[in-house]
């Protein structure tokens, strides 16, 4: 670890903090209807779609609207991928995507997961990339933000019974938030060298005289929303390690900032809407502490390097002409600190973009992204998903605090009773069950074991990461697992659906139950949710729930691999 590395981490942290308030205030204005500069476009969309923007929806109707829209868009994407060989904007003549691959991809992009068991430049036509994958990058992110707004309304409204209108939230989130920022960001990326075209692939001659095919395509437009919407799916197989997606240190910084921008800002938005800004900052503080702890661990592990490499004579000590540490699987353009930072950022959110290969990290360095996901994608989390996931953990924390003092817990004036706790626990258990049950199935069946390229604890880590990433709607991977088989395409595709929609329904039910409650006056027994004590208790609950759920599996994977590495053995 170096002073320069810590300086870069400090600059990134300050920039995230500076973005939080102004963007958070803007998001409030997006969803309270006070922005009107695109009102004409908004009205046309409502009229063409038969939407009454003044109509409020009960949580059941809100959930049905979200599910129907997601199912319809997923089926459309599946059809386009299966028929892309017959459709235009396919200059390279890409064949139809296989049925299993089309299902997994359609499910993955619909759920904001963007898990890819294929190479984008060798599988998807320009039409598929632009009209389906990029479309879902916008819509799935807007859906997550809409659901977060629904939960916030459920908390702040008094005896309302309604959560807003899903269609209005979807349109406003896309029209006023995601589209304009992505447009500006795409132009900046293009100026920095990210390509944007619909040309045929180019054959170039390298300095060694070897012919090489360079893939072209509309990359900048997808790259912008892939990061801003915490989607993560790369146009190229190498994702953000590819120089056409992430060519400079500046684009690397901007992409990381884009990943954190909306999840961080939503904490301020929540504080403003709840009329308790200190509570919003308390949630932000809990998120940042967890993020910083993970980043410090990953950076230290990668900077120390692999003792097996050192024993073979590799210099792992940083110097003026040597990056040191574990550079396996990392771009020399970014080095140790920006690889560890990007890996922590992308797994702390539900993004999944990568600028290095997590499979090549040291056991502890690779465990950090895995743990970030398994904590429930609440360490800032995805667009919307991070906020509502954290609010669920806040409710569990307040419930535990209420038990400690022997009274009915209250949260921002709403009593937390049996059915609210049941929905919160269902939200947590669905996530854990999907990961552990399906990972166990893959680890003991021939079809699951055939996908491993590594035996022993690292092979288990690859399986565990795949199911954690897809259930957490993250999409990054330990790339040593061969996921393009019928077994993994099918199971991982269903896992993305479970991790999204089987968790959305109990969360919306929780929002609906809270919306029906009256506000009760604060009393001496009300647990304060703005203090350092609350932040510490919230972090403790998140860590305890994560440890009780996943530590046994982690101990068989990256933990034992760490000890084997220091014993000079590797699988």
What are the pLDDT digits (tens) for 92-140? Answer: 889 999 999 999 999 999 999 999 988 888 999 999 999 999 999 999 9
**Token pair of 22 as six digits:** 């102004």
Helix, strand, or coil here: 461?
helix
- Could you identify the residue written with the tokens 């904590």? 375
The residue among 305 and 72 whose pLDDT is bigger is 72
pLDDT at position 524: 66
Provide CB contacts within 8 A for 336, sequence distance 6+.
5, 299, 302, 303, 318, 323, 324, 325, 326, 327, 330
Residues 558 and 366: beta-carbon distance below 8 Å: yes
The torsion region of residue 426 among left (phi > 0), alpha (psi -120 to 50) and beta comes to: alpha
Beta strands 414-415; 410-411: pairing state: antiparallel
pLDDT at position 570: 58
**Which DSSP letter does residue 528 get?**
P
The residue among 245 and 522 whose pLDDT is bigger is 245
**DSSP class per residue in 159-202:** S------HHHHHHHIIIIIIHHHHHHHHHHHHHHT--B--PPPE
Handedness of CA 83, 218, 109, 70 (dihedral sign): negative
Of 243-247, 411-415, 469-473, 502-506, where does mean pLDDT reach its minimum? 411-415
pLDDT at position 525: 64
Give pLDDT tens digits for 356-379: 999 989 999 999 999 999 998 899
Average the pLDDT over 423-440 and give the result. Answer: 93
Residues 65 and 57: beta-carbon distance below 8 Å: yes
pLDDT at position 57: 94
**Token pair of 322 as six digits:** 């040597």
pLDDT at position 453: 80
- CA-CA distance, 52 to 36, in Å (whole number)? 17
For residue 551, how many other CB atoms are within 10 A of its CB? 13
The phi, psi pair for 519, rounded to 5°, reads: -80, 130
Give pLDDT tens digits for 477-486: 887 888 888 9
- CA-CA distance, 352 to 190, in Å (whole number)? 22
For residue 480, how many other CB atoms are within 10 A of its CB? 18
Helices (H) and strands (E) in the chain, counts: 22, 4
pLDDT at position 174: 96
pLDDT at position 76: 96
Of 99-103, 243-247, 325-329, 470-474, where does mean pLDDT reach its minimum? 325-329
The torsion region of residue 531 among left (phi > 0), alpha (psi -120 to 50) and beta comes to: beta
Which pTM value belongs to this model?
0.93
Containing 285, the helix (H) or strand (E) segment is helix 277-304
- CA-CA distance, 214 to 237, in Å (whole number)? 13
Give pLDDT tens digits for 260-270: 999 999 999 99
Give pLDDT tens digits for 287-318: 999 999 999 999 999 998 888 878 877 777 87
Provide CB contacts within 8 A for 266, sequence distance 6+.
24, 27, 145, 148, 383, 384, 386, 387
- CA-CA distance, 135 to 124, in Å (whole number)? 14
- CA-CA distance, 274 to 67, in Å (whole number)? 27
């Amino acid at each position: 670890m170096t002073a320069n590395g810590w300086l870069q981490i400090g600059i990134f942290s300050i920039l995230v903090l500076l973005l939080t308030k102004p963007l958070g205030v803007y998001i409030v204005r997006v969803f309270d209807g006070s922005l009107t500069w695109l009102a004409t476009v908004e009205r046309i969309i409502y009229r063409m779609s038969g939407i009454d923007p003044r109509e409020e929806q009960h949580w059941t109707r809100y959930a049905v609207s979200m599910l129907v829209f997601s199912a319809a868009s997923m089926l459309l994407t599946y059809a386009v991928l299966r028929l892309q060989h017959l459709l235009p904007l396919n200059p390279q003549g890409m064949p139809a995507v296989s049925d299993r691959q089309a299902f997994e991809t359609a499910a993955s992009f619909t759920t904001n997961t963007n898990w890819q068991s294929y190479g984008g430049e060798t599988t998807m036509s320009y039409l598929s990339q632009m009209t389906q994958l990029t479309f879902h990058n916008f819509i799935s992110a807007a859906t997550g933000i809409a659901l977060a707004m629904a939960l916030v309304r459920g908390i702040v409204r008094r005896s309302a019974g309604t959560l807003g209108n899903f269609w209005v939230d979807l349109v406003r989130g896309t029209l006023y938030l995601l589209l304009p920022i992505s447009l500006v960001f795409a132009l900046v990326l293009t100026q920095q060298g990210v390509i944007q075209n619909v040309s045929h692939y180019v054959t170039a001659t390298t300095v060694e005289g070897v012919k090489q095919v360079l893939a072209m395509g509309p990359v900048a437009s997808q790259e912008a929303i892939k990061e801003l919407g915490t989607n993560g799916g790369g146009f190229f197989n190498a994702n953000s390690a590819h120089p056409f997606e992430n060519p400079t240190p500046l684009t690397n910084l901007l992409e990381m900032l884009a990943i954190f921008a909306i999840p961080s800002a939503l904490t301020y938005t929540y504080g403003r809407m709840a009329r308790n800004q200190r509570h919003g900052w308390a949630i932000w503080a809990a998120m940042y502490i967890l993020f910083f702890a993970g980043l410090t661990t990953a950076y230290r592990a990668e900077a120390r390097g692999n003792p097996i490499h050192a024993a073979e004579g590799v210099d792992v000590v940083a110097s003026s002409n040597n990056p040191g540490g574990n550079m396996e699987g990392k771009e020399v353009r970014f080095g140790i600190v920006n690889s560890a930072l990007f890996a922590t950022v992308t797994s702390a959110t539900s993004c999944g973009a990568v600028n290095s290969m997590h499979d090549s990290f040291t056991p502890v360095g690779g465990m950090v992204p895995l743990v970030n996901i398994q904590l429930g994608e609440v360490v800032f989390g995805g667009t919307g998903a991070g906020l509502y996931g954290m609010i669920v953990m806040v409710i569990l924390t307040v419930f535990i605090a209420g038990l400690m003092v022997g009274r009915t817990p209250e949260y921002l004036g709403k009593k937390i009773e049996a059915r609210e706790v049941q929905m919160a626990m269902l939200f947590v258990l669905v996530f854990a069950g999907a990961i552990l049950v399906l990972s166990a199935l893959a680890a003991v069946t021939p079809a699951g074991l055939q996908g491993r390229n590594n035996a022993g604890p690292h092979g288990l880590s690859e399986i565990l990461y795949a199911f954690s990433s897809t259930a957490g709607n993250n999409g990054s991977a330990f790339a040593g697992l061969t996921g393009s088989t019928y077994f993994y395409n099918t199971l991982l595709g269903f896992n993305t659906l479970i991790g999204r929609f089987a968790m959305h329904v109990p969360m919306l039910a929780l929002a609906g139950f809270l919306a029906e409650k009256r506000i009760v006056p604060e009393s001496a027994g009300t647990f304060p949710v703005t203090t350092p004590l609350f932040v510490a208790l919230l972090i403790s609950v998140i860590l305890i729930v994560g440890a009780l759920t996943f530590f046994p599996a982690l101990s068989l994977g990256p933990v034992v691999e760490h000890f084997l590495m220091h014993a000079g053995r590797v699988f």
